[in-house]
Amino acid sequence: MVLRPLGLGDLLTGVPAIRAVRAAVPGHRLVLATTAALAPLAALVDAVDEVLPARELEPLDWPGPPPELAVDLHGKGPASHVVVAGLHPGRLLTFASPGWPGPVWYPDEHEVHRWCRLVAEGLGVDADPDALDLAVPGVAPPAPAGVALVHPGAAFPSRRWPADRFAAVARHLADRGLDVRVTGGPAEVPLARAVAEAAGLGEGCVLAGRTTTLELAAVVAGARVVVSGDTGVAHLATAYRRPSVVLFGPVSPALWGPPLRAGEQGALHVVLWHGDGTGDPWGTALDPALARVTVAEVTAALDSLL
């Protein structure tokens, strides 16, 4: 049993560690406990045999016998440690915290490397941080291949670049002759429509609220380029090796940014950041570091990729 009931980006950064768990116990059935919304995407990870719907820091509704191994890929504990320990597993792997043995948690470690190290040290197996690839969903994407994706949303206001700047970027891409689509979740439909309208794009360019998780992944997998903030879509671009420009603010890209992938020629992902890592990723106002990212910087980065 592997615990990871968080957001889209959290799931995708944990994929190499999940694959390493599979390598450590190849004869076992691997059950991934993640959110119901991410269950279809989790099924695209070749190491996962079964997905158990779960909610953050809530007891798992597991009807089976105690697992032989339970791995906490949620956090440093102890709240998440209790969730996996409640299954009474034969063996428990967690980061060290008072009363819980395990590898030491380093706050300045990249998210992908952190969970790979937990599995490598705890289970004595190689964990490849580059094992981030995701299978392409077997669904028809709601947009043709080669579109330019603009994703203006983020979970918290501190990580949302202003809509008028995203609109200027979308207009720039359209002026270059690209087919631009604006993505987002159901709650981000008004934002996506505002960006599209300000950019002079038609209503048909707005995909926000019209895609399932798998359809969104399929669109990203075929995209010509992706521009977004520090959010889950950026991690999809990494998983599918699609060129991207990612705008960071309160959080350092050294912790959550797209890593250099093996076999990639040149810089496939451009990260823009003017911060010091002291911002609040859950803040209710635009982070000053993100506000310092200009439209000209973003369009120049896109031009370099295109």
Specify the range with the lowest mean pLDDT, choosing from 99-108, 261-270, 282-291. Answer: 261-270
What is the average per-residue pLDDT within 125-143?
A: 95
Distance CA 131, CA 14 (A): 10
The 10s digit of each residue's pLDDT in 287-298 is 999 999 999 999
pLDDT at 263 over 90: no
pTM of the entire structure?
0.95
The C-alpha torsion from 220 through 221 and 225 to 231, rounded to 10°, is 40
What is the average per-residue pLDDT within 51-69?
A: 96
Q: What is the DSSP letter of 216?
A: H
For the chain, percent of residues with pLDDT exceeding 90: 96
In this predicted structure, what is the pLDDT of residue 266?
A: 64
Q: In what order do the strands lie in the sheet with 50-53?
A: 50-53, 31-34, 2-3, 69-72, 91-93
In this predicted structure, what is the pLDDT of residue 261?
A: 79
Tell the residue number behind the tokens 């799931």, with chain if given: 11
Three-state DSSP at 82 gives: helix
The 10s digit of each residue's pLDDT in 144-194 is 999 999 999 999 999 999 999 999 999 999 999 999 999 999 999 999 999
pLDDT at 265 over 80: no
